[in-house]
Amino acid sequence: MPMNKSQLVRVCWLGRTPYREAWDIQAELVSDLRDGRASDTLLLLEHPHVFTMGKAAKSDHVLWDEGERAQRDVDVIWSDRGGEATYHGPGQLVGYPVLDLAQFGLTIPQYLEKLERSLIDYLHDLGIDSQPGEPGLTGVWSGGEKVAAIGIKLNRSIVSHGFALNLTTDLDYFDGIVPCGHVDKRPTSVESITREKVETAVAARAYAEHFSDVFGVVLEWGSAQKVLPTLAR
C-alpha cells in the first residue's frame, strides 16, 4: 500500500517517562495494532537517566561501576531493541513510532532512511547540517559526532522503539558506556553545536511536523489517556 496523506498516525507527548513504563506502553500498542485494536502511533517523550542495552550490547560496554551509577542516579536496562549500548536522559527527545510497515509499504531500510530524514530535516530548521551515518554507523551525525541514535525492533511487520535526539543532554553520561559499540565515536547535542537551548516539549511539536511530511501522514494529537486508552495511566 503506497503512503498517502489519508494515513492517520496518533501522536502524544508523554513528558518524562521511565524507560520500563515506555517499554510496556510500546508492547501494549504493538499487540493492539497487530490485533486491529489500535492505530499507528508516535510516542514522544524523554527519559530519566538510564543506560539501555540492545541485543548486540555486552556487559563490558558499561564502563561505570555500580557505585558510580548509583551516585549519578542512572539505571541499566537490557532491552529487546536492536543495537548496542546507549544513554537516555533529560534534555533528550525520544521518539517511539509504533507503525505497521506493511500498511506503509516500507521495508526496514526504507523506514530507517525516512526516520533519519525526518531528524535531518528538523535539525536543518535549527541551523544544523547533519547526515546519516556511514556504512556500519547508525543514527544521524553532524561534524563526525552523533547527534541522534536509532535502534528499532520488528514484530512481524510492526516496528517499535526508535530514536533519541540530543538537545540539551548532559553528554558526560555517555562516558559511562561504550556508545553503540564505538569507543572512538563521540556524541554531540543541539546545544553543543548551536549554543542554544531547545526545550524537549517544544522540539517534540516541531519534530512531529517533519515526521508527518517525510512519512506522508496526518498526525492526530491527543492526550496519553486518549491515545493509550487501554493503559492505566
Instruction: Point out the residues that are catalytic.
Output: 180
DSSP letter, residue 62: B
Instruction: With beta carbons less than 8 A apart as the criterion, state whether 147 and 189 touch.
Output: yes
Q: What pLDDT tens digit does each residue of the chain (233 aa) get?
A: 444 446 899 999 999 999 999 999 999 999 999 988 889 999 999 999 999 998 888 888 999 999 999 999 999 999 888 788 899 999 999 999 999 999 999 999 999 999 999 999 999 999 999 999 888 788 999 999 999 999 999 998 999 999 999 999 999 999 999 875 455 578 999 999 999 999 999 999 999 999 999 999 999 998 877 766 555 44
- In angstroms, the Cα distances linking 158 to 40, 67, 71, 224 are 9, 38, 38, 21
Q: Which grid coordinates are listed for 93?
A: 527527545
Listed residue (110, 121, 106, 122) closest to 3, CA to CA: 106
Domain residue ranges in the chain: 8-227
Q: At what angle do helices 200-215 and 108-125 cross, to 10 degrees?
A: 130
CATH superfamily placement of domain 8-227 = Bira Bifunctional Protein; Domain 2 (3.30.930.10)
Residue 186 DSSP class: P
Length of the chain: 233
| Pairing mode, strands 158-166 and 92-100 | antiparallel
C-alpha distances (whole Å) from 176 to each of 62, 96, 117, 179 are 6, 24, 29, 9
Measured in whole angstroms, how far is the alpha carbon of residue 128 from the centre of its chain?
19
